[in-house]
Amino acid sequence: MEIKKAEFVISAVKPTGYPDTDMKEVAFVGRSNVGKSSLINTITNRRKLVKVSQTPGKTKLVNFFIINDAMHFVDLPGYGYAKVSKKERESWGKTIEMYLHNRPQLSKVVLLLDCRRVPNEDDKLMYKWIRHYNYEPVIVMTKIDKLNRSEIVKAEKTIRTTLNIPKEVKIYNFSSLKKLGKEELTDKLLEDIAEPLND
CATH code of 30's domain? 3.40.50.300
Domain assignment of residue 1, yes or no: no
Domain assignment of residue 55, yes or no: yes
Q: Which parts of the chain have pLDDT scores under 70? A: 52-59, 81-92, 192-199
Domain assignment of residue 86, yes or no: yes
How many domains, in total, are found in the chain?
1
Domain assignment of residue 50, yes or no: yes
Parent domain of 112: 6-190
Looking at 36-168, list the stretches that DSSP marks H as alpha helix, in order from N- to C-terminal side: 36-43, 86-101, 121-132, 149-163
Q: What is the pLDDT of residue 95?
A: 86
Domain assignment of residue 28, yes or no: yes
Domain assignment of residue 171, yes or no: yes
Q: How is residue 175 annotated by DSSP?
A: B
Q: What is the pLDDT of residue 93?
A: 72
Domain assignment of residue 84, yes or no: yes
pTM of the model: 0.89
Q: What is the pLDDT of residue 199?
A: 44
Q: Which regions of the chain does DSSP assign to beta strands (E)? A: 6-12, 25-30, 62-67, 71-75, 106-114, 136-142, 171-173
Q: What is the pLDDT of residue 67?
A: 95
Backbone angles phi, psi at 131, to 5 degrees: -70, -40
Backbone angles phi, psi at 54, to 5 degrees: -80, -10
Q: What is the pLDDT of residue 42?
A: 96
